[in-house]
Amino acid sequence: DAKTTQPNSMESNEEEPVHLPCNHSTISGTDYIHWYRQLPSQGPEYVIHGLTSNVNNRMASLAIAEDRKSSTLILHRATLRDAAVYYCILRDGNFGNEKLTFGTGTRLTIIP
Partner 1 sequence: DTGVSQDPRHKITKRGQNVTFRCDPISEHNRLYWYRQTLGQGPEFLTYFQNEAQLEKSRLLSDRFSAERPKGSFSTLEIQRTEQGDSAMYLCASSRDWTGGGEQYFGPGTRLTVT
Q: What is the DSSP letter of 5?
A: B
Angstrom distances, CA of residue 94 to CA of 32, 79, 90: 10, 36, 12
What is the sign, positive or negative, of the torsion defined by CA atoms of 82, 88, 92, 93?
Answer: positive
Q: Which of 33, 88, 92 is nearest to 64 (CA)?
A: 33
Instruction: State the nearest-atom distance from the C-beta of 98 to partner 1, in Å.
Output: 5
Q: Which of 76, 93, 109, 111 binds partner 1 (CB under 8 A)?
A: 93
How many residues are listed for the chain in this entry? Answer: 112
Q: How far apart are CA 79 and CA 2, in angstroms?
A: 31
Instruction: State the nearest-atom distance from the C-beta of 85 to partner 1, in Å.
Output: 8
Q: Which of 9, 16, 52, 103 binds partner 1 (CB under 8 A)?
A: 103
Does residue number 98 form part of the binding site for partner 1 (CB under 8 A)?
yes
Closer by beta carbon to partner 1, 13 or else 57: 57
Total number of residues binding partner 1 (CB under 8 A)? 23
The site for partner 1 (CB under 8 A) is made up of: 32, 34, 42-46, 49, 51, 85, 87, 91, 93, 95-96, 98-105
